[in-house]
Chains A and B, each alone.
Chain A
C-alpha cells in the first residue's frame, strides 16, 4: 500500500514538473498565440479564487458573495506595497506623491538582487492575504450568524462597502482614490536570464495555494467543515464548534481570495477599484457552479473553461462574419440544426425525468414516451428555429445574422443558464479528478455506506 502511494506521488510530481516545463516553453517560444497565454494566466488565477469560494460555499455550506471585496483588498495591499518609489510621484500625482514612501519588492531587490524580488513578492502576497483575512475576521463577527441568502446579501454588501471605502478621497495618499494604481512588480518582472516566467509564476503561486486548500480539506478541519455543510445540528452534536469552524473557513477562504486578488493585480499590471464589482463575484460563483459545488478539480477545470470561453473560443461570435461559400454555409446550418435538436431532446428528456411527460409501459416491457401538452411549446419553438435554418440555407445570403459585438457574452450566458438549469451537478459533481481514475475511492465510499 505504501509503495503504491509513493508511486502516485512520483507520478504527480512528474506531471507537475512536465507541466511547468511546458509552460516555460510556451512562455519563451515565439509564435504562441497570445490568447493562449492570457487564458492560461487568468485561468490559473481564477482557479485559485474559485477554489477559495468553493471552500466556503461548497465545503462549509456558507453561501457568501464577498469574494470580489476580498480580492480588492488583496490587490490593493499588494500594489500599494510594491510600487517603486520613483514611480510614486507620477502615480499619486493627485495626492502629492502619496503617503507610502517605500516599496518592499524594490528595497529587497536592491539588497539581494533577483532573489530579493521573489522574496518581496512572496511577502507582499502573504500580506495581501493576511489583510483580507483580518477584514474577513472582523466582518465575520456580525455576519456569520446569518444563514443562506441573508449571509449572501450581507457579504455582498460588505464587498460594496469596501469598494466605496477604497475610493474615499481621504485614503487617497494610500489607495490613490478612484484612480489607477500601476507600475508595480508584475509577472513580467520575473525572468531567469533571458527566460520569461510570466505564465509559470501564476501557476506556481496559485498551485501552491490550491495545494494548501486541498490539504486543509482532507484534514480534520476539512471534515468538520463538511459536517457543518451536511447538517449543522448533527455537527454540533458531534462536538464541532460551529462558530469557530465557520469563522475559520471564512477567514481562510478570504485569505486565498486576497492572494488571488494580488495575483490578478500582477497579471493586469494595474488595479482600479471599479473592476471589483459584484459582477466579478457572480462570475466566480458561476465558475464554482459549473465545476461542481464541492469539487476542487471541478473548480480548476471550470475556471480554465470559463476564461477560455469568455476570452478566446467564443471570440468569433463577436465579429460580423460572412461565410465564404455555400458549402461552409451548409456545414454551419447542419451544426446549428444539430445543436437545436440536442437542446430540444434535453428539454424533453428532462420533462420525462420530472414526470411531466407521461411514459407508458407497453406489454413487452418497452417504455414509450407519450406526447404531452408541456412538450408542445419547446417543440414548436425548435421547429421554428429549424425552419429558419432551412430558409437560411436556401436563401442566397452568406452573411451570418446576429453576429456582432456582444453576442459572445449572450451565447455564453445562455450556455451558463443551461448548465445551471439542466446540469445542476456541474462538470464534476462533488467528485475529484483522481476519483475518475482508479477504483479505490469508490470502494471506500461503498465500505463507508456499509
Chain B
C-alpha cells in the first residue's frame, strides 16, 4: 500500500511546491493591489520559453540567472504598462487590463515560437533520475519542496525584517495611509512584482523540468490553480499560499492516481467554490469585510 501511495505523494508534493511558488506571486500582488494578476501564469510560461532559448545559446550557469532576471524585468514591465496607468481606475478596469495583458503575452509567445511545442532543456543534476524506496523519479521531485520552503523562509524574513518588507506590509494594510507615511507606493509595487516574477521563474524551471515541453498556453492552467491555492490559503498570506499549493498539488496527484484525470482540474475549482462559500477569507486570511 505504502509503495503504491508513495509515487503519487512525491509527485503531488513536487507539483504542490511549484504551485506554491507561483501562488506567492498572486497572493502578494493581490495583497497590495487587490488585483488578480491574470498575466502571472503567462509570465511563468514566458520564463519557460526564455529558458529554452537561453539554454540553447549559453551554458547553464549563465542562462539560469539570466532567465530569472529577464522574467523579473518582464513582470515589472507588465506592471508599468498595464496596471500603473489604471491605479485610480475601478478594480474591474484593472482586471480587464490584466486579462488583455494575458491575451497579448499568449499571442506574442505564439508568434515568437510559431505555436510549436518547444523541448525544455534537461537541467543537469536536478534532472537526474534517482530511486527512492524502489520508485524511480527525477531529482527535481525531491528538491522542489525543500527549495520552496527555503525560498519562502527567505521571503518571510524579507517581509518581516527589512524596511521594504515593512513598507509592503503597510501598503497592503492601507494604501492611502501608507502613502501619507512617506512610502513610495510605486516602488513597493514594483518590488512586489520583482519578487513574484522571480519566484515564478524558479517555479517554471522546476515545473518544466518535469513536463519536457513548453507551449504558449501551457501556463494558463497552473496559473489558475496557483491562484486557487492562494485563495485557499487566504489571499494576502504567504504561508497560506504555500500550504494551499501543497494541498492542491497532493490532492490532484491522488485524483490522477485514482484514474480520474479529467476531474483533477475540476476538483481544484470545486475546492475554490467550496472555500469561497464556506470560509471566504481562506485558511490564514485576514478578516476583511469588503472582500465578500
Which A positions have Cβ atoms within 8 angstroms of B? Answer: 63, 142-143, 145-150, 152-154, 156-158, 160-161, 164-165, 167-169, 278-279, 282-283, 285-286, 289, 293, 350, 354, 404-407, 409-410, 412-414, 416-417, 420-421, 424
Contact = CB atoms under 8 A, between A and B. Distances in A.
A377 to B, nearest CB: 10
Interface string B245-285: 00000000000000000110110111011001100100000
B224 interface: yes
Contacts of A417: 81-82, 97, 100-101, 104
Given A153-B227, A161-B269, A406-B107, A147 B292 contact: yes
Contacts of B194: none
A320 to B, nearest CB: 13
Nearest to B264: A164
Contacts of A63: 92, 95
A165 B269 CA distance: 12
B65 interface: no
B288 to A, nearest CB: 12
Contacts of B36: 149, 152-153
Given A279-B217, A282-B102, A406 B111 contact: yes
A158 B276 CA distance: 13
B96 A153 contact: no
Contacts of A413: 100, 103-104, 107-108
Nearest to B90: A424
A384 B62 CA distance: 30
A154 B95 contact: no
Given A154-B272, A417-B101, A148 B110 contact: no
B91 A148 contact: yes
B96 A164 contact: no
A404 B111 CA distance: 8
A406 B114 contact: yes
A336 to B, nearest CB: 18
Interface of B: 34-36, 81-82, 85-86, 89, 91-93, 95-97, 99-104, 106-108, 110-111, 114-115, 217, 220, 224, 227-228, 231, 262-263, 265-266, 268-270, 272-273, 276-277, 280, 291-292
A402 to B, nearest CB: 9
A282 B103 contact: yes
Given A164-B262, A168-B263, A157 B272 contact: yes
Nearest to B87: A354
A396 to B, nearest CB: 27
A413 B39 CA distance: 13
B206 to A, nearest CB: 24
A303 B102 CA distance: 20
16 contacts: A143-B273, A145-B277, A146-B280, A149-B95, A150-B231, A150-B292, A156-B224, A157-B273, A279-B106, A404-B111, A406-B107, A412-B107, A413-B100, A416-B104, A421-B82, A424-B93
Contacts of B85: 350, 354, 421
B9 to A, nearest CB: 23
A176 B222 CA distance: 27
> Which of B36, B95, B97, B111: most chain A Cβ within 10 A?
B111
A142 B86 contact: no
Contacts of A168: 262-263
Contact of A154 (B104, B263, B276): B276
Contact of B97 (A404, A410, A420): A420
B100 A286 contact: yes
Given A154-B272, A157-B228, A416 B280 contact: no
Given A148-B92, A157-B272, A167-B262, A406 B115 contact: yes
A158 B114 contact: no
Contacts of A142: 273, 276-277
Contacts of B89: 424
A247 to B, nearest CB: 15
A152 B97 CA distance: 14
B277 A153 contact: no
Contacts of B99: 282, 285-286
B52 to A, nearest CB: 17
B108 A410 contact: yes
Sorted nearest first, the 8 A-B pairs with minimum C-beta distance are A157-B269, A406-B111, A164-B266, A409-B107, A413-B104, A161-B266, A142-B277, A420-B100
A421 B265 contact: no
A407 B107 CA distance: 8
A164 B263 contact: yes
A146 B292 contact: yes
Contacts of A282: 99, 102-103
Contact of A149 (B91, B103, B220): B91
B220 A278 contact: yes
A150 B291 contact: yes
Nearest to B115: A406
Nearest to A419: B100
A146 to B, nearest CB: 6
